[in-house]
Homo-oligomer: A and B are copies of this chain.
Amino acid sequence: MIIFLLYKIIYNAITTYITNRFDTKNNLLSLFRKHCVLKKKTVTIDDIARYLNIATSTVSRALSDHHSISDQTKKLIKDTAKKLNYRPNSLAANFRKGKTKTIGLVVPRINRNFFSNVIHGVEYVANQFEYSLIICQSNETYKSELEAIETLMNNRVAGILISISRETRKPGHIKSVIEKGIPLVQFDRVFEEIKSNKVLNDNLNGAYSAVKGLIDQGYRRIVHFAGPYYINIYQDRYEGYKKALLDSGLTPDEKLVFENILTREEGYEKTMEIFGKANRPDAVFAASDFSALGAMIALKDMNIKIPGEVGVVGYANEPFTDYISPGLTSVDQHSVEMGQTAARLLFEEILNEDENYVPKTLTLKPDLVIRDSSSGG
Contact = CB atoms under 8 A, between A and B. Distances in A.
A155 interface: yes
A87 B156 CA distance: 10
A123 B95 contact: no
A244 to B, nearest CB: 27
Nearest to A328: B323
Contacts of A371: none
Contact of A110 (B112, B116, B134, B154): B116
Contacts of A123: 110, 135-137
B124 A120 contact: no
Nearest to A335: B111
Interface in A67-106: 87-92, 94-95, 98, 100, 102
A127 interface: yes
Number of this chain's copies in the assembly equals 2
A325 interface: yes
A153 B87 contact: yes
A360 to B, nearest CB: 25
Contacts of A87: 153-154
Interface string A124-136: 1001000011111
A13 interface: no
B116 A155 contact: no
A294 to B, nearest CB: 10
Q: Which of A91, A92, A102, A155 has the most CB of B within 10 A?
A: A91
B132 A133 contact: no
Contact of A132 (B109, B155, B323): B155
Given A136-B123, A137-B123, A323 B293 contact: yes
A229 interface: no
A339 to B, nearest CB: 9
Given A90-B155, A91-B155, A300-B325, 15 more contacts: A87-B153, A90-B151, A109-B120, A112-B116, A123-B137, A127-B136, A127-B137, A127-B144, A132-B134, A132-B136, A133-B135, A135-B135, A293-B323, A323-B323, A323-B324
27 contacts: A89-B95, A89-B154, A91-B95, A91-B98, A91-B156, A92-B95, A94-B95, A95-B95, A102-B134, A102-B155, A110-B116, A110-B120, A110-B123, A111-B116, A111-B119, A111-B120, A116-B119, A119-B135, A123-B136, A127-B137, A132-B134, A132-B136, A132-B151, A293-B323, A300-B325, A324-B324, A325-B325
Interface of A: 87-92, 94-95, 98, 100, 102, 109-113, 116-117, 119-120, 123-124, 127, 132-137, 144, 151, 153-156, 293, 300, 319-320, 323-325, 336
